[in-house]
Structure 1
Amino acid sequence: MSPAPTSAKSSHPPFNEGAAHVAAPSRFGVPSLDEMPDDIRAICEETRAKIGFVPNVFLAYAKRPEHFRAFMHYHDLLMKGPSGLSRAEREAIVVAVSAENACLYCVTSHGAALRILGKDPFVADQIAVNWRTAELSPRLRAILTFASRVNDRGFAASDKELAELKALGLTDDDAWDIAAVAAFFGFSNRMAGLMDMRPNPQFYAMGRAADGR
C-alpha cells in the first residue's frame, strides 16, 4: 500500500490543542527584580548572566526573602559544598527522589544539571523516568537506593544499610550527605507543588548532545 500523500489533511486536531499553559513561576506571584532586596536581586542577575535566564525557583522564593536566603544557603551547601559525593552524584539523587515525588520542576531543572555535570544525557533521562531500571554503576545504584529510602514513611536507617554503603567505599559522612540531599529535596518537591512551580522552558534543552554519548 502506498503511503498517504504528505499533503493529505489529518482528521485529528493538532496535538494538545486547547491545553492551558501555566506561565507564572508561582501561583502566589513573584516580585520584579526591582522589588527584590539587593542581595537577592544580585543573585538573580548573576545567574542570568551565567546561564541566560533566572530560574523560576529563584523568582518564586524571592516572594519571601528570608525563605529565599535560608533555602539557597542550604541548597548551595548540600549541592556545591565539600563532600565525598561528586556534584553529578548529588544531582542524580535530586532527580531520582524528585521523580518518585512526581515533582515536575525539580526533575526538569535538575535533570538538566545532571545531563551537564554527568556528561551522560541517556542515563540522566533514565534516572528521571525510573532509576531502578537505569544503567548505573554499583556505587551510584547504592547511592540512589539509599536516597530513595529516605522519603519512605517512618524512615530510619539500619546498620545493614550503612554497612552496604561502606562496602562500596562510602563513608558515614557520605551517608549523611545522601540523606541530607534526599530529605532537602523531599521538602523542595512539596514546596514546588504548593506553589505550582513550573520549569523554565530553557531547562528542557540543556545538556542534550545531538550525536550521542
Structure 2
Amino acid sequence: MAAPAALPDAEWSECLLPAGPVPREMAREVRRAVGALPGWVPRLAPSPWIVRAFRDTIQRPAAYLPRTFFDLGAVVVSQDNSCRYCYGAQRAVMKVLGYRDEYLDRLVRDFHVVDLPPGERAGLDYLRRLSRADPRPGRAESEAVVQAGLDRRAVTEIAAVAAFCTFNNRVATLLALPPDPIESLVRGPLFRFIRPLMARRMRPRARPPEPPPQPNDGPLAALVTALGDSPAASVVRRMIEGAWNSPVLPRRTRALLLAVVARALGCAYSEGEARRLLAAEGLEGSHVDEILTHLGSAQLDRREARLVPFARETVRYQPAAIQRRVRETCDAMSREETLETIGTVALANALCRMSVVLDAPRAAG
C-alpha cells in the first residue's frame, strides 16, 4: 500500500454501521480511560471486546519505548495504511500535544528527515515494515534497530505497536468510520485556548512493566509470553480471549479466518495454532489443507464460504475496494456478526504481524 499524498481527500465510503446506544458502564469505562467518549464507541458498542481493544491500545501500553514513539508510530502507520479515520484522529491528537502541521507533514513524507534519535528512526522504519509485512521482517531487521540504539525490549514493543495499529486501522477502514469530532475541534477558533487543558489529559504517561498475564493458557499463549513484562502482553491476552469467547461467531469460523491470514502472511506459528484450534473443533487436517489452498471447500458452511476468501483480501488492500467487499460479504449478516467478522480478521492480521517476536532473541530481564 503506497502512502497517499493527501489522505483526507482519499476515497472513503459511508460508514457501514450506524451509531447506536452505548451501555452506561461501557461509556463510563471509556471516559475513565481516555477522558472522553470518542466517535467510534457508539458504532462498536455491540462488540464489547472490540471496544475494550480500542480503549486499551490507545492508552499506549508500552514500558520500554520512548514516550513519544507510540503517537509518532500511529500517525506514520495510519497514513501508510491509508486509514482515513485513524490518520485524521491521530494527527489531531498530535496537534493537541503541540506538534505543528509542518513537522507532521515532514514526518509522514519521510521520517528520516525529522529530528529524531537514530534508534527511533530505525524503530519507525521497522514498524512500517511490520505493518506492510511484504514480506514480514525477520531477526536481521529487529537486530538493526537494537544496533541503532533501542533496547531489545523496546523492539519487542514495536511489534506490539504494529499489531495495535494494524487492528485499529483495519476495524476503522473496513467499517469506513466517519471522521472523529476531534478533527473539527483542532480546526476551531477556540482550540488554542483549550489545547493546554486537553494536552494535560492526553499527554503520554510513563507505564511501568507489569507482571505477565495469568492465566495465559488460551490460544496463542506463546505469543503473549514473548511480550514479557510489557503492559502490551495483558492487552493482547484480553483481545484474544475477548474474540475467542464471544458467542457471536463460532470458534471454528474464527480459527479458519486466522488460518487464512496466517497462510497469506507466511506466519507458520499462527497457522499452526489455527490448525490446532480447528482440530479441536473437528476439522481434519486434509480439509484445512484444501481450504487454505483453494479458499473454498464443501466442508465450509454458507457463511464460512463467504468469509474465507474475504479474509485473504484483508491482508493488503485499497480502502475503497475493501469497503465495497465488506458490504458484499456482510450483506446478509446482523450488525453483531458484521462487527465480529471485521474484528476477527483485524485481530488475525495483527497477531500474524506481531509474531515476529517469537523469532527475535529474548531480552535480558
Deviates more, 1:59-68 or 1:38-47: 38-47
Q: Select the structure with the greater relative contact order (CA < 8 A; seq sep ≥ 6).
A: 1
CA, structure 1 residues 134+206, in 2 after alignment: closer, same or farther (shift >3 Å)?
farther
Q: Check whether the contact 1:131–1:144 (CA below 8 A) recurs between aligned residues.
A: no
Deviation string 1:48-101 (CA, Å, 9 cap, x unpaired) is: 9x45xx32122222132232124423x15xx43342223321011111111011
Match among 66, 75, 87 for residue 49 of structure 2: 66
| Residue 28 (structure 2) aligns with | 42
Query: For residues 33 and 61 of structure 2, what CA distance do their matches in structure 1 show?
Result: 18
Q: Which runs of 4+ in 1 moved over 4 A?
A: 44-48, 207-210
Q: Which amino acid aligns with 2:171?
A: M
Q: CA RMSD in A?
A: 3.0
Match of 2:132 in 1: 152
Structure 1 residues 82 and 151, CA gap change in structure 2 (3 angstroms): closer
Which residue does the alignment assign to 2:293?
none
Which of 120, 136, 146 is matched with 1:166 structurally? Answer: 146
CA distance in 2, matches of 1:206, 1:160: 41
Is 1:27 matched up with 2:10?
Answer: no
1:174-185 alignment runs, 5 A limit: 174-185=154-165
The one-character-per-residue Cα deviations of 1:6-45 (angstroms, maximum 9, x if unpaired) are xxxxxxxxxxxxxxx98x8x4211223xxx3332121355
Give the counterpart letter for 1:30 in structure 2: A
Distance in 1 (CA, whole Å) between partners of 2:172 and 2:123 is 24
Structure 2 unaligned regions, length at least 5: 1-11, 194-365
Percent identical among aligned pairs is 24
Given residue 124 of structure 2, which amino acid in structure 1 is its aligned partner? L
**Alignment correspondent of 1:18:** none
State the partner residue of 1:131. Answer: 110
**Structure 2 Cα separation of the partners of residues 151 and 94 of structure 1:** 11
TM-score by length of 1: 0.69
The TM-score with structure 2 as length reference comes to 0.42
Range with bigger deviation, 96-105 or 61-70: 61-70
Q: Structure 1 residues 86, 58: CA separation in 2 closer, same or farther (over 3 Å shift)? A: farther
- Taking the aligned partners of 2:49 and 2:138, their CA distance within structure 1 comes to 36
Q: 1:123·1:134 contact (CA, 8 Å) conserved in 2?
A: no
Q: 1:205 to 1:130 in 2, by over 3 A?
A: farther
